[in-house]
Amino acid sequence: MKKVTFAAFVAFWSSVLTTLALARMSPPEPVTAGQRAEFVYTLQQVAGHASEASCWLAIEGKVYDVTSYLPRHPAPQTVLLRWCGKEATEGMRTKGYGAEHTPAAWGLLDEFLIGTLAPES
Amino acid sequence: MTRTLHRAVRQRRLNWLAWVVALLPLLAALPFAGRAALHEPAAMLNWLGRLAGISALSFLLVAAILSCRVPGFDRPFGGLTKLWRTHHLLGATAFLFALLHPLLLSLAAGGASLGAAADTLLPPAGDRGSWLGWIALLAMMGFLAPSFAFFGEPRYQRWHSLHRLAAVAVLAALVHTLLFSRTIPEPWNTGIWFVLATAAVASVAWRLVFSRRTSRLRYRVERVARPASSVVELTLRPEGPHLAYLPGQFVYLTPYDESLAAGNREEHPYTLSSAPAEPCLRVVIKDIGAASRAIQSIQSGSEVRVEGPYGDFFPRRDVGSSELWIAGGIGITPFLGRLRQLAGARETLDAQLIYCVQDESRAHFADELARLVASVPGMRLTIHYFCREGPLTRRFLQQHCPDFAERRAYLCGPEPLQRIARDLLSAAAVGRQQIVTEEFSLL
């Protein structure tokens, strides 16, 4: 057991350091966000997509269609479903218990951008 | 015979029970995998990463529960040393799961980008949940490094004090898991962790707080006998309630003697050599480390505290079968206790004791053993000298105990002797359930 745990210990740090070093050396990723930002939706339009079949989220002035992402979200689906069709900035910023989503999660969100939220009149 | 066989089977089952309980959260999470986890590689890696995380915590908690050391709790597990073997393996498994957990999550994020993989490993400063996970993992590395001899064989005391970091690891891992609780649906999630965490906290609280007050008995050193230059036998007179125990069990002894060069107020395990009916306790201590060396010069009249008894070497009741005892060096101690009990109670026992020693100078208690054996009808004693006869052989066993393969065997001594004896008995078709061993290595 001693050999196995020590081998795992060394392999762990090797993997962590390799990942961090590669990420540090790789060129910055191209920014794809904002390409579809010319579409403008109202909160009422967003509210029309409040189900598993079509789930839109309004987050920090932008609108996302995360329908295709629903089955991939790590939390049980009910956690994400209750934000569908709503202003979901709070959910994204707090996960419901005060913890911010990771930069990786924010980066992933850009893939689902469909427009911006119309300012409330 | 039937009764002891049943006992051996039950012991093995209870050790398995610890593994089953540790696997419960993983089993509870399995039905909730979701479609994506079964079809998309990244989602599957993420799912496996989360399963590794909850398994790391549950194995850690069950290992903590098993560390409670409540006297008597160890017997259904086959004694404290066997219970600790399970504790040790559960801890190792928890560690392997804990190492896999961030790596799998990082690999899963790697599907999005290399930056996402790195961000999973090194989360932003505000992500308290993830950093608690890191604190738990680093604490595990700290307290398990001596257990698995990452940096050489540790000293007992360093291992003992570093093991307290386990409390930090358990607490941080628990909060980390509850913050991210999204793998097992409610109310199962809260229910499972509440039960396991409560049992673990109760277990550690017993160990650190209550056991010190309630189960440590006060004794005073009455006599220090020196059967050899590196061995002492302490006679301890109770200052309050006297310990109830069985022959061959062991205790944790804490000396209170400021003049000791090492080990003052430190607890160490020692085997009882007295018969339970004696008014005093006797423990045999061989000089094998700093504390056991220092205690060789403990002063008569000094106070000690005794916690126990532990171990499950001899059966609770005599079951009328014939026995083979193989002792090596200081491993004679539990047999000495049993012989003193048999002689004191004028009992009979069909048993052959084979006492393996290096040479005459290491045959501790040889004279007393001969006297005791002579007073117990059915008992026989043979001393095996390594310097003359080399390692124990089947021929030697057959010569001195022709029916050795039909006897229930009790082994106690250094690991090489136990290995040789087990091999000889297995070769003679003695079943594993007929062999009882007592080990003293605690790591």
Q: Return the CATH number at B279.
A: 2.40.30.10
Cβ pair A99:B88 closer than 8 A: no
**Does residue B65 lie within any of the structural domains?**
yes
Q: How many domains does chain B have?
A: 3
Chain B interface includes A25 (CB < 8 A): no
Q: How many CB pairs under 8 A join A and B?
A: 102
φ and ψ of B74, to 5 deg: -80, -20
Angstrom distance (rounded) from CA B97 to CA A65 = 35
- pLDDT at position B6 over 60: no
pLDDT, position B318: 55
Give me chain B's average pLDDT, please.
87
Cβ pair B127:A71 closer than 8 A: no
Long-range contacts, A3-10 (Cβ 8 Å, 24+): A4/B92, A4/B96, A5/B92, A5/B95, A5/B96, A5/B144, A5/B148, A5/B150, A6/B148, A6/B149, A6/B150, A8/B95, A8/B96, A8/B99, A9/B99, A9/B141, A9/B150
SS3 content of chain A, % helix, strand, coil (to 5): 45, 15, 40
B386 class by beta-carbon count within 10 Å (0-12 exposed, 13-18 middle, 19+ buried): middle
Residues B46 and B120 in one domain: yes
Residues B278 and B163 in one domain: no
Residues B118 and B254 in one domain: no
The model's pTM is 0.74
Range(s) of the domain holding residue B199? 3-214
Q: Which of B188, B214, B240 is the last residue of a domain?
A: B214
Percent share of chain A, pLDDT over 90: 23
Task: Say which CATH number the domain at B78 has.
Answer: 1.20.120
**Does residue B197 lie within any of the structural domains?**
yes
In tens, the pLDDT along B19-42 reads 999 999 999 888 887 766 777 788
What is the distance of C-alpha B153 from the center of its chain?
17
| For residues B336-351, average pLDDT | 94
Residues B328 and B305 in one domain: no
Closest approach of chain A CAs to the CA of B31, in angstroms? 12
Residues B226 and B206 in one domain: no
Does B2 or B125 have the greater pLDDT score?
A: B125
Q: pLDDT tier at B1 (50, 70, 90 boundaries)?
A: very low
φ and ψ of B69, to 5 deg: 60, 40
- CA distances to A73, B60, B120, B195, B429 from B46, rounded to whole Å, are 10, 21, 11, 26, 49
Which letter does DSSP use for residue A53 in this model? Answer: S
Angstrom distance (rounded) from CA B59 to CA B339 = 41
In tens, the pLDDT along B366-396 reads 999 999 999 999 999 999 999 999 999 999 9
- pLDDT at position A32 over 70: no
Cβ pair A16:B120 closer than 8 A: no
> Which strands form A62-65's sheet, in the order they lie side by side?
A40-41, A113-117, A62-65, A56-59, A86-87
- Cβ contact B405:B397 at 8 Å: no
Chain A interface, mutation test: which of B100, B150, B190, B443, most A Cβ atoms within 10 Å?
A: B150
Helices H, strands E: what count in chain A? Answer: 5, 5
Find, in chain A, the residue whose alpha carbon is nearest to that of B148: A2
Chain B interface includes A94 (CB < 8 A): no
> Which strands form B303-310's sheet, in the order they lie side by side?
B268-271, B250-256, B303-310, B216-228, B231-238, B281-286
Residues B134 and B189 in one domain: yes
Name the least confident of A56-70, B147-161, B186-200, B326-340. Answer: B147-161
- pLDDT at position B174 over 70: yes
ipTM above 0.85, yes or no: no
B234 class by beta-carbon count within 10 Å (0-12 exposed, 13-18 middle, 19+ buried): buried
- pLDDT at position B442 over 60: no
| For residues B280-289, average pLDDT | 92
Residues 391-420 of B with CB under 8 A from A: none
**Does residue B331 lie within any of the structural domains?**
yes
Chain A interface includes B118 (CB < 8 A): yes
Q: Which residues of A touch B124 (CB under 8 A)?
A: 100, 102-103
**Does residue B338 lie within any of the structural domains?**
yes
